[in-house]
Chains A and B, each alone.
Chain A
Amino acid sequence: MSATIALFHDAYRELNSRKLFWITLILSVIIVAVFGLFGLNEQGVSFGLGKFSWTIDSEWFNSTIIPPKSFYLFAFANFAVPIWLSWVAMILALISTASIIPEFVSGGSIELLLSKPIGRVRLFLTKFSTALLFAGLQVAAFSIACFIIIALRGEAIEWRVFLAIPIVLLVFAYLYSFCALMGLLTRSTIASVLLTAVFWIALFGVNTTENVFQMLRIQREVKIERLEAAIDRQEKRAEEYLARERANGNDPVPAGQVPEVYRDEFEAVSPTLGPRRRDLEETRQSLATWQRWHRILFMAKSVLPKTAETTGLLDRYLISDKMRETLQKLGQNNRRGGDQSVPDEDDEIRIRGDDREVQIRLEEAVRGRTETWVIGTSLGFVGVMLGLSCLIFGRRDF
């Protein structure tokens, strides 16, 4: 136990000696200070304190619509954590800690450590954990500062802010497990940072592509539902029309005289029915294609760490459903269009990505992924990376 404490104590000293640690910490404090300068009042969004504050008037974004506490929580969950902690601070943390493993296994240093009565796996995992200490201290400091800001400006004691610590640490662990393996394999800080950056970009690519494919799939599902409803309605109308006309002694489509261009007599009396039926068939085929592609991407994503979705968990925990509804309404007010009402008979049915139904289903699909799946599969990846690292480190000659 004293050996583990010594390794952590040493890691703290190492961090203390790194300028980047302090630079990141100072930047975090500045970000929180700026965060604290924003506020909501009855007129709109304010910036500054006391006499030195300016307000941008807004009818739909002010403290009468959104309580200040919710505003700060929303800003914390949607801007401070996903942008600052999950991107900028994460990059700085990776740069700062990328050298830990290459330096750890470098000649002259590793011999001293391996010659101590500590197992190799324990030594490696402890060293890995010391890197997490860096990210942990950064995010802890940031969260404490945000907690104070929310308490002072939002007038609310919001302990849930500290959920950012485990969540950001998890995301850092996903990336750092890969970085540590690369550091072990290449023994080079620069190579491990670059390879981790490439990996991160690849993760972003997989995640974005999966989202796009999912959206395309949902778009088609919605379109099929609407087409089916419209076709059904049209068929009923056509049926009613034919029955009515025939009852009056008129037969617009004498039996057995349906022109070849039409599939049935309904199409003969409803000109848009045929194109809609063809559109439905094409959309069903297209849906099958996108379902297949989405399934492939989803499987790929399942074995990879889910950085964005893990960070998104904070949004789930911090933003209440009521607050979310308010924000969605605000978003709709802001967005012109984007939603398609039930189509008329002659309307062409087109479903856009920002269709409200698509957006709702997309969000439901994302939120339907449980914490266990998001964190569990990502931790599985971390486990594989650490397992490989321990295997290599445990068997390597130094």
Chain B
Amino acid sequence: MTATATAAATAPAPPPVTRAGSDWAIDLTDVSKVYKGGVHALRGIEMRVHRGEVFGLLGPNGAGKSTLVKILMTVIRATQARGTVLGDPVGKKSTLARVGYLPEHHRFPDYLTGRQVLHFYGSLAGTPRRELRRKSDELLELVNMTEWASKKVKGYSKGMRQRVGIAQALMNDPDLVVLDEPTDGVDPVGRREIREILVHLKEKGTTVFLNSHLLSELEMVCDRVAILVQGKVASQGTLEELTLTRRGYHIAIDTDDDPAPIWADALPGMTDGAWRGINVVLNNDTAQLLTTDPAAVMPVIDRLRAKGVTIHSFRPQRPSLEDLFMEAIIDPTTGKELGPGAAKGGRR
């Protein structure tokens, strides 16, 4: 974990946990999983998800994302699980009546139609029988599958199955929806529709826990994210928090001359990559000033303009989720990508 990520990973102090009053939809303080043969998939996960937010879980293959999701959904038994889901201890079955789940590689019975799938899983989730029809029609409309509702699932494309999968996860009007790769196999139009569904859920106050490889999508919809590396949370927080120390302003000048003297004039007294306490990264005709205060950058602009230097561009800069992700999975000491977390006999 990098120093900046460590700083950003500091999560807010947990509120007192009560079933009704907890602000956390998910509050994990120590979740571990050791598979048979001593494979450590999770090594003391600490993670908190606010009620009503869209939370993104990301990490490289083998980081333990699916294991964590499956533990939350009681599909896998944790070796140790201290924490709560919707105010109840992790693993409590009755809590799942308030949770919707779409597994990554789900498989619906081929002999069911889309509507029957919703009725079946809705019934299992505890949706009252009288509600099934209304609710399924409503959700089929939401995922744009009304026309296909009476067709057998075996005739569905991957994207259509995914849409029905999302609908079944919502049949019980859940307080928390856990979606594992919901856009897998879905075309761009469908992805956009799914994003809209997520926004709709958020507006309703539903908490969405999203596990996805598509960082750009997570970035578009997530309020907060956690990056899982080698079975541990490398960093978590809002994008603002995670990028706080890496945000700044990017200045590009247009010159045929050597840019070094120009920057020396514009940033007088810069030593060891710092100017007036602001970290500066120079790269030929561009400069990155790592500060969130635009006023602090104005003197540089003034000096450049006073010297008659053409400013090609001046824009605020924020690292993307992909930048954060790549930074988290690179070992700072070796510069190489960290291996999967499911390492046999690995350290906790």
Would you call B121 and A111 a contact (CB within 8 A)? no
Counted as pairs of residues, one from A and one from B, with CB atoms less than 8 Å apart, the total is 85
> A364 within 8 Å of B by Cβ?
no
**Residue of A whose beta carbon sits closest to that of B66:** A111
> B274 within 8 Å of A by Cβ?
no
Report the 10 A-B pairs with minimum CB-CB distance, sorted nearest first: A108-B107, A6-B123, A17-B111, A111-B103, A116-B124, A115-B73, A115-B101, A117-B97, A117-B96, A397-B76
> B81 within 8 Å of A by Cβ?
no
**Residue of B whose beta carbon sits closest to that of A123:** B124
> B216 within 8 Å of A by Cβ?
no
Stretch from B53-61, B125-133, B136-144, B248-256 contacting the other chain: B125-133
Would you call B105 and A108 a contact (CB within 8 A)? yes
With known contacts A3-B123, A6-B123, A116-B96, A13–B112 Cβ distance under 8 A = yes
**Residue of A whose beta carbon sits closest to that of B178:** A115
Q: For residues 58 through 116 of chain B, which have their beta carbon under 8 Å from a beta carbon of chain A? A: 70, 73-77, 93-97, 99, 101, 103, 105-112, 116
**Which residues of A are found within 8 Å of B110, using beta-carbon distances?**
17
Q: For residues 315 through 363 of chain A, which have their beta carbon under 8 Å from a beta carbon of chain B? A: none
**Which residues of A are found within 8 Å of B168, using beta-carbon distances?**
112
Best-buried of A2, A13, A14, A119 by chain B (most CB within 10 Å): A2
In whole angstroms, how far apart are the Cα atoms of A221 and B251 in the complex?
Answer: 110
Beyond A14-B109, A109-B108, A117-B96, 20 additional contacts (C-beta under 8 Å) are A2-B123, A2-B129, A3-B124, A10-B112, A13-B116, A107-B107, A108-B107, A109-B106, A111-B75, A111-B106, A112-B106, A112-B108, A114-B73, A114-B75, A115-B73, A115-B75, A116-B126, A117-B95, A118-B124, A395-B77
Could you list 19 examples of A-B contacts with CB < 8 Å?
A5-B123, A6-B120, A7-B124, A17-B111, A106-B107, A107-B105, A108-B106, A111-B75, A111-B101, A112-B101, A114-B73, A114-B74, A115-B101, A116-B96, A116-B124, A116-B125, A117-B93, A118-B93, A397-B70
Among A7, A108, A111, point to the contact of B70 (Cβ < 8 A).
A111
Would you call B111 and A14 a contact (CB within 8 A)? yes
**Which residues of A are found within 8 Å of B112, using beta-carbon distances?**
10, 13
**Residue of A whose beta carbon sits closest to that of B124:** A116
Would you call B107 and A397 a contact (CB within 8 A)? no
A353 to chain B, nearest CB (A): 52
> A110 within 8 Å of B by Cβ?
yes
Would you call B109 and A10 a contact (CB within 8 A)? yes
In whole angstroms, how far apart are the Cα atoms of A106 and B77 in the complex?
Answer: 17
B92 to chain A, nearest CB (A): 9
Would you call A398 and B124 a contact (CB within 8 A)? no
With known contacts A107-B105, A109-B107, A118-B93, A398–B73 Cβ distance under 8 A = no
> A83 within 8 Å of B by Cβ?
no
Would you call A115 and B111 a contact (CB within 8 A)? no
Would you call A3 and B103 a contact (CB within 8 A)? no
B residues with CB within 8 A of A: 35, 70, 73-77, 93-97, 99, 101, 103, 105-112, 116, 119-121, 123-126, 128-129, 168
Among B75, B94, B109, B123, point to the contact of A397 (Cβ < 8 A).
B75
> A285 within 8 Å of B by Cβ?
no
In whole angstroms, how far apart are the Cα atoms of A16 and B302 in the complex?
Answer: 80
With known contacts A112-B101, A117-B94, A117-B95, A398–B109 Cβ distance under 8 A = no
Would you call A3 and B126 a contact (CB within 8 A)? yes
Chain A positions 1 through 25: 1 when the CB is less than 8 Å from some CB of chain B, otherwise 0: 0110111011001101100000000
**Which residues of B are found within 8 Å of A17, using beta-carbon distances?**
110-111
**Residue of A whose beta carbon sits closest to that of B92:** A117
A3 to chain B, nearest CB (A): 5
**Which residues of B are found within 8 Å of A117, using beta-carbon distances?**
93-97, 125-126
A117 to chain B, nearest CB (A): 4
> A26 within 8 Å of B by Cβ?
no
Would you call A112 and B103 a contact (CB within 8 A)? yes
In whole angstroms, how far apart are the Cα atoms of A113 and B108 in the complex?
Answer: 10
B304 to chain A, nearest CB (A): 58
Q: For residues 252 through 295 of chain A, which have their beta carbon under 8 Å from a beta carbon of chain B? A: none
**Which residues of B are found within 8 Å of A16, using beta-carbon distances?**
111
In whole angstroms, how far apart are the Cα atoms of A397 and B128 in the complex?
Answer: 30
**Residue of A whose beta carbon sits closest to that of B128:** A2
**Residue of B whose beta carbon sits closest to that of A109:** B107
**Which residues of A are found within 8 Å of B95, using beta-carbon distances?**
117
**Which residues of A are found within 8 Å of B129, using beta-carbon distances?**
2
A102 to chain B, nearest CB (A): 13
Q: For residues 79 through 131 of chain A, which have their beta carbon under 8 Å from a beta carbon of chain B? A: 106-119
**Which residues of B are found within 8 Å of A7, using beta-carbon distances?**
124
In whole angstroms, how far apart are the Cα atoms of A14 and B111 in the complex?
Answer: 7
In whole angstroms, how far apart are the Cα atoms of A14 and B129 in the complex?
Answer: 20
In whole angstroms, how far apart are the Cα atoms of A71 and B99 in the complex?
Answer: 61
In whole angstroms, how far apart are the Cα atoms of A134 and B265 in the complex?
Answer: 87
With known contacts A2-B129, A118-B124, A398–B70 Cβ distance under 8 A = yes
In whole angstroms, how far apart are the Cα atoms of A362 and B96 in the complex?
Answer: 58
Would you call A119 and B93 a contact (CB within 8 A)? yes
In whole angstroms, how far apart are the Cα atoms of A177 and B237 in the complex?
Answer: 50
A113 to chain B, nearest CB (A): 7
**Which residues of A are found within 8 Å of B35, using beta-carbon distances?**
397
In whole angstroms, how far apart are the Cα atoms of A112 and B74 in the complex?
Answer: 11
Would you call A115 and B74 a contact (CB within 8 A)? yes
**Which residues of A are found within 8 Å of B121, using beta-carbon distances?**
112, 116
In whole angstroms, how far apart are the Cα atoms of A398 and B106 in the complex?
Answer: 13
**Which residues of B are found within 8 Å of A118, using beta-carbon distances?**
93, 124
In whole angstroms, how far apart are the Cα atoms of A7 and B122 in the complex?
Answer: 11
In whole angstroms, how far apart are the Cα atoms of A1 and B17 in the complex?
Answer: 31
Would you call A2 and B73 a contact (CB within 8 A)? no
A183 to chain B, nearest CB (A): 17
In whole angstroms, how far apart are the Cα atoms of A154 and B126 in the complex?
Answer: 50
**Which residues of A are found within 8 Å of B103, using beta-carbon distances?**
108, 111-112, 115
In whole angstroms, how far apart are the Cα atoms of A3 and B109 in the complex?
Answer: 16
**Which residues of A are found within 8 Å of B120, using beta-carbon distances?**
6, 9-10
In whole angstroms, how far apart are the Cα atoms of A106 and B75 in the complex?
Answer: 12
Would you call A115 and B99 a contact (CB within 8 A)? yes
**Which residues of A are found within 8 Å of B125, using beta-carbon distances?**
116-117
Would you call A398 and B111 a contact (CB within 8 A)? no
Among B106, B109, B126, point to the contact of A2 (Cβ < 8 A).
B126
In whole angstroms, how far apart are the Cα atoms of A17 and B93 in the complex?
Answer: 31
**Residue of B whose beta carbon sits closest to that of A15:** B111
Among B96, B108, B123, point to the contact of A115 (Cβ < 8 A).
B96
In whole angstroms, how far apart are the Cα atoms of A6 and B117 in the complex?
Answer: 11
**Which residues of A are found within 8 Å of B124, using beta-carbon distances?**
3, 6-7, 113, 116, 118
In whole angstroms, how far apart are the Cα atoms of A117 and B112 in the complex?
Answer: 21
B131 to chain A, nearest CB (A): 11
In whole angstroms, how far apart are the Cα atoms of A110 and B108 in the complex?
Answer: 10
B93 to chain A, nearest CB (A): 5
**Residue of B whose beta carbon sits closest to that of A396:** B77
